[in-house]
Amino acid sequence: MSEQNVEFVKGIYGAFARGDVPAVLGAFTDDIEWFEAEGMPYGGLHRGGEAVAQNVFGPISEDVEGFAIAPEELIGSGATVAAVVRYTGTGKATGKALDVPVVHVWDIRDGKLARFRQFIDTVKFADVVPAAVSVAG
């Protein structure tokens, strides 16, 4: 089951990279709990795909030109997949390059993404996207 879940999460990153946000949102449970790291402009708990799209995906695409997530390593354990990824792009307001490692932890329930937790160096991110200039701020 772990390997199946790793492949599932890998496919979600692939869909995001292609810009297929409907496929990403379609992989969420209706009640997904999305924990964006405190200290991020989009930080806190977002419930449901619509909240994630409006409060995370939309703002980050506005704040970071060419925002991309590159998975570097995926580790599965039962219904949980940890992903070491790299965020890249350019802060629109600052012109600074974003290149920061991040850890995502996904919990899968009934073949869908039920919970997301993000672990990131928020100070490094804020250097590129200060909360004061974020469209989310």
Mean pLDDT (the chain, rounded): 95
Q: What is the DSSP string of 59-74?
A: HHHHHEEEEEEEEEEE
Q: What is the pTM of this model?
A: 0.94
pLDDT in tens, 68-119: 999 999 999 999 999 999 999 999 999 999 999 999 999 999 999 999 999 9
Query: How is residue 74 written in tokens?
Result: 């995926």
Buried b (16+ CB within 10 A) or exposed e, 16-40: beeeebeebbebbbeebbbebbeeb
